[in-house]
Structures are given as C-alpha cells and as structure tokens.
Structure 1
Amino acid sequence: MNTKRIGAAGAAFLAATTMAACANNASGAPTSAGTVDASAPNVTIMVGGMSKQIYLPFMLAKQLGYYDKIGVNVNLVDEPAGGDATQNMLAGQVQGVGGFYDHNIALQAQGKSSEAVVSMLQIPGEVELCRSDLKGVVKSPADFKGRSLGITDTGSSTDFLTQYLSKKNGVDPAQETRRGVGAGQTFIAAMKQKAIDCGMTTEPTVSQAVSDGTAFILMDMRTADGSKAALGGTYPATSLYMQTDWVNNNKATVQKLVNAYVSTLSWIQQHDGAAIADKMPAAYYKGVGKAAYVKALDSEKGIFNPTGLMPEDGPKTCLAVLGEFNPKVQGKSIDLAKTYTNEFVQAATPVS
C-alpha cells in the first residue's frame, strides 16, 4: 500500500489520557472536577481529534454541564487517529469512541460487533486543501496522480475517502502517496514544508491554512450539496459508537449519554457560532483565532445532525466507499442494520 506516516503514531493510552486532561483543565473552562458522583457510572470516551469542530459536541456537552446533569462521570480522551481510538475500545480501555460511523462497518467485516448510538454529523465536514503554489495546477482529484496527499492516518476515514475521490476521478490510488499528518499544526507544517501537495482535513485547520495563504480549497464537503457531489450521497460522520455487548449490558447509561448528546445537538441548532465558541475552551481556537473559529462554525453549522438519528441513506453511502478500498470490507456481506441503532435517540428526553 502506498501510504506513509509522518511523526509518531500517537501517544500511548495513559499518556493520551493525561494530555487530554491537562489540555481540558488548563483551558480555564468549567470542568466536573469536584462534582464527581462516586455512585454514578464512569464512562471513558476517546475522541478522534477533540479540537476539530466535527467533534465539538463531546466537549460542548461537558461545557454545558450535561454530563453532571445526567449523572454520568464522563472522561474525554483525545486521540488524533480514529483507528487507534477504535483499537482502544476493542481492548476495553475505553467504553466509547467519538469517531466516524464507518468504523462500525469495518469492524463488522472483521467479525466484531459495535454500533453507533447517536449520529452527530450528517455530512463529513471534510475539505480537500491543496498548497497555494499548486493553484491552477491541481484542479480536481483527477490531478492526484504522482502527488503526495495528507490524511489523518493510514486506515482512517480520510484515507478511504481520499482513495475514493481519486478513483472516482480516474486516478489509481496506487499512483499517489498518502501520508498520515494528523490535523492542526502538524497538517499545516506538512503543507508548508511541501511534504504534502494536498490533504483532507476539517475546521478549524481549514480556516487557518486558507487565511494565512498556505492552501486553497479544492473540494468542500462542509455542505450537503458538496458532500453529495463528492461522494454520491449523504455520508454520516461523527457518532458515538460502542461495542454492542457493552451497549446491551449498560442500556441505562447509554440512554443518559444519548440524552446529553441529543440535547447538545439541539442547543447547537438554537445558537450561532459566537455563542457556541463562548462555551468552548480557549485552547480550541487559539491557533486560528476566535473570530475565524466563529466564522467557520457559522458557515458549517449545517454539518451537525439536528436530531441525532442516522440519515436513512447514509450507511449505504459509507459502505460503497469502504467496499471500494478497505481490504477488510471488500467482498464481505455487511448487515448495515447492526452497525447503528436509533433506539436511544428515539427514546431521548431533554436535559434541563
């Protein structure tokens, strides 16, 4: 496979936990410290890149005080690579993952059972950026042949989406090099150093790279129209997913979590970017600046799922993408109905 990785693969689980806790507490934002209920269930959720706007609901729910109100001690852990987060879930180190829904399809293909219990993004929110010096040279993914392309990590959702876009535009993915460069500063540094020509990333990295002249937007999947044009249909992205056995054995806890996230999604719909940003830790917009962070939120607020229900045509689109390029999925019979559930969203009650 013509993929490479820049930098370390990611911190070990304990290190990631420590860094996430430090980052959250150092922000000066409200935390649940001092209000932990020893009798309440403890749930650790590993998020595939906490500062990305596509994963905003996980921290926003904490900032709104919803975890305390539902009576669950939630520990959020940052892990930039969604695939690594999934492995930690399978190892029992975390109970849930904040990541792309499509991981559940890949897991079923490997004989493992997990399911998304709430859908937070109805479209990917991903953007394909290219270096500014390539404007007019790279005009579409048809020009990816021989190029170095940035992805979050090998085997990540951005990896398969990049391959899908390449093939759809007539380029064999074997004729490109895909490099794991993460997001944020590592992504931008890779582009500035010309380690990558183009790359797939999300807000607020997009705004920072465009505003400082590092990159231009080649393809934009922050809108429903852009997503359908690129991928052929609705592509549900961020979700909370868990192993099916854990869900079945802890339904009361899962329901509380879903109550919190459905309420958070509703809160997002009722507020503008400025109000949302005011609730987030300052560290989340430090690199790009609060004004740009707010502008990005306002422009892409439509990516957030207003209901939490899985989009009806979404799983089929995800399977079509993975079935093309994920060797673990190719040729396998997938029961999509077992990769997600709307049970908890349909029973959700508002958190007040």
Structure 2
Amino acid sequence: MLKKSWVGLAAAALVLAGCANNASQTASGGSSSGGPGDKVSIMVGGLNKQIYLPFMLAQRLGYYKDQGLDVTLQDEGAGVDATTDMVAGKVDGVGGFYDHTIAMQGLGQQLESVVSMLTTPGEVELCRNEVKDQIHSPADWKGHNLGITDVGSSTDFLTQFLAQKNGVDPASTHRVGVQSGATLIGAMQHGNVDCAMTTEPTVSTLLATGDAYVLLDMRTAAGTAKQLGGEYPATSLYMTTDYVTKHPDIVQKLVNAYVKTLKWIQDHTGADVAAQMPADYYAGSGKDAYVKAFDSEKGIYNPTGIMPPNGPSTNLKVLQAFNPDVKGKSIDLSKTYTDKFVQAAK
C-alpha cells in the first residue's frame, strides 16, 4: 500500500503553522478542566484508550486545577495526525507514543517528551478467528490486511518492524488505518482486516465476543522484550522543543500533575479508576471488563515518569529497521526527551 509520508506531513504542518492560531489558544470541541489558569491544549491519540489514561484521569482528579492550569483535551484517533496538528501550532502538546519524537527529528523537527507514562506499548495484535489456521505469527502476514490506527502511526511503526523481523517485507502487507474502538471492531467483524494492533479496552471487547484471538501481546515487559528486543517507552506528553523552551513554567505544572497521576494509578485498582472515568469510556466492553483489563495490565504504567534509561535506544532500533525518515540518519536521542521536569516534580 502507499505509505503516508512523514515528509509530506511535516511540510504540511509547516505551511499550516504560518496561519494557525496561537498555540496557547484552545480549540473548540475538547474537554476542558475549566476555570481560570494558564491555558494549554493537548491532543491525545485516543482519549478512551487505557494506554492514554493519565491525561483524562488527571483532569477527573482535579490535578490540572490544582496546578493553576486550564487544560483542554482533544481526541484524535492517531498520534501521527496529532503530531502534525501540534507542529502546525494548533495545539500545545500531544499525548502519544514517544517514538514520534525520533521520527520527526529525522525530518529536522525538534520535539521532546517531558514525561514518560508507559514503559511498554500496551499493544496487542489480534486476528479474527476465521484466519486462525492461516496466521500463526507475523511470519504469515504476507498478502494480508493488517489494521493500524493510521498510516505513519506508532502502530504502523510496530507492525512494519514485526513484519520485517519475521521475514516479511512490510510492502507485501496491506496496512489499513482503522483507528481503534468501534471502527477497528467493525473492520475485524466485517473481514476488512485479518489482524489489527490495538489496546484496552478494545482488546477485551473483541475477546469477549469471541471474534478474535491474540497473536502477540506487548502488555508486559517480558512480552515487549520478546517482540522488540528491550524496553519500549510508549505513551508520553511530548511538545515542540520551542514550546518547552518558551513555557517552562507551564510544562512544569503539567508534569507535576502527571507525576501525581502516575503515583495515584500505582495506589489504586481498576474499580477505583473506572469510578473516576466517564461511563462512555467503558461502554463497549462493559465496566467489569474495563476493570479487569486495567488490573491485568497495570504494570504498563511508569510509576515515576522518568524515561527508562535503555528505552530510547530500543525505539531507535525499531525505527531504523524500516523507516526511511530515520534509517541512516544521525539521531541525537538526548534531544528527544528530558527528565528535568519530572525530577523537579519529585
């Protein structure tokens, strides 16, 4: 299939940046913490996904307000599109996978993670039951339709890497953007994709209906190391280096809220989490399944917010294996993240 070019995305973002509103202005249609305070807008690559739980949870717990922030959270089905909007100046930050900071540096764009929220991707590759006799591992993916959130997304990165690692040319697969939740479930149930990479609560929903089986699981450190070769820091808050440099006070307040949220997660159960979240966050899978999913994968959350020391090199290795925007490029990983705000929060 034709791959959406990160070069094209970056170029489009730069054009849009010239006419975008000031990044400190919040866009309509988002979820705001309300009240007076420093305004900041964050676009999240799937607010109801458990891998992005800290963003909404911080709001529900009142931690943004405690820091004197008026935060608007906007939902976007894929991190690649959220990244483009941020570079264009439409939002201040992105709740997405850390690996986008590496991919964009390969294109000359400086982004950095300011707090690490997940130490593993929390991703699961599901396949529909009708192909159970055909697909036993990624080595069987040739010629099959593979669901990802969107072309150029982190699930696209991981899918291509897993294909290549298992001897399959990514170009011989058909990667289809199906986002997550209801759209991904529909694509699986109607046979539009044979396998798809997704997270909770979508995983539990498909397994509960008996429509899919687990091909591989990266919700644990062991499962991640088996598939990717080491730690793979995933969810983070990342921003342009320019924004971080110009607004260190706002960044520090955000990180304070997220470090406190990550600590809250460690001290509470799935039932506690579900009680805080909007009911529609677990409407598809049901509250019991949502609670069970959280309790089973609680270990994905970073208890400190510090970037895992050996993680960035694994992310880089994955991207260098297939991504032309990164392969052969000189990437300075020290510029793709900073721990100084987390250390100050502690």
Q: What's 1:51 paired with?
A: 48
Deviation string 1:165-217 (CA, Å, 9 cap, x unpaired) is: 01111111111100000000000100111010001000000000110011111
Distance 2:27 2:133 in 1: 43
CA positional deviation for 1:3: 5.3
1:233 matched to 2:234: no
After superposition, where does 1:197-346 map in structure 2 within 5 Å?
197-346=194-343
Letter in 2 for 1:96: G
Percent same amino acid at aligned positions? 61
1:195 matched to 2:195: no
Deviation string 1:111-156 (CA, Å, 9 cap, x unpaired) is: 1111000000000000000001222321110110111100000011
Letter in 1 for 2:334: A
CA positional deviation for 1:2: 4.6
Distance 1:56 1:95 in 2: 19
Letter in 2 for 1:160: F
Distance 2:325 2:175 in 1: 19
Secondary structure at the aligned position of 1:334 is classed as coil
Distance 1:324 1:179 in 2: 21
Q: What's 1:119 paired with?
A: 116
Please provide the CA RMSD for this pair. 1.7
Q: What's 2:33 paired with?
A: 32
Q: What's 2:8 paired with?
A: none
Contact 1:2 1:176 in 2 (8 A): no
Structure 2 regions of 5+ residues with no counterpart? 5-19
Letter in 2 for 1:275: D
After superposition, where does 1:146-225 map in structure 2 within 5 Å?
146-225=143-222
Out of 133-142 and 54-63, give the one that drifted further.
133-142
Distance 1:190 1:18 in 2: 30
Distance 1:290 1:136 in 2: 32
Distance 2:78 2:291 in 1: 25
Q: What's 2:92 paired with?
A: 95
Contact 1:2 1:178 in 2 (8 A): no
Secondary structure at the aligned position of 1:345 is classed as helix
Contact 1:2 1:177 in 2 (8 A): no
Secondary structure at the aligned position of 1:189 is classed as helix
Letter in 1 for 2:33: S
Letter in 2 for 1:232: G
- For residue 71 of structure 1, the aligned residue among 48, 60, 68 is 68
Normalised to the residue count of structure 2, the TM-score between the two structures is 0.92
Structure 1 regions of 5+ residues with no counterpart? 5-12, 22-30
Contact 1:207 1:292 in 2 (8 A): yes
Contact 1:17 1:78 in 2 (8 A): no
Distance 2:189 2:238 in 1: 35
Distance 1:141 1:225 in 2: 18
Q: What's 1:104 paired with?
A: 101
Distance 2:260 2:106 in 1: 32
Contact 2:30 2:72 in 1 (8 A): no
Deviation string 1:42-100 (CA, Å, 9 cap, x unpaired) is: 10000011110000000000000001100011000001111111111111111100000
Q: What's 1:132 paired with?
A: 129
Distance 1:87 1:168 in 2: 28
The verdict on how the C-alpha distance between 1:259 and 1:230 changes in structure 2, with shifts beyond 3 A counting, is same
- Count the aligned residue pairs: 328
Distance 2:256 2:88 in 1: 26
Secondary structure at the aligned position of 1:328 is classed as coil
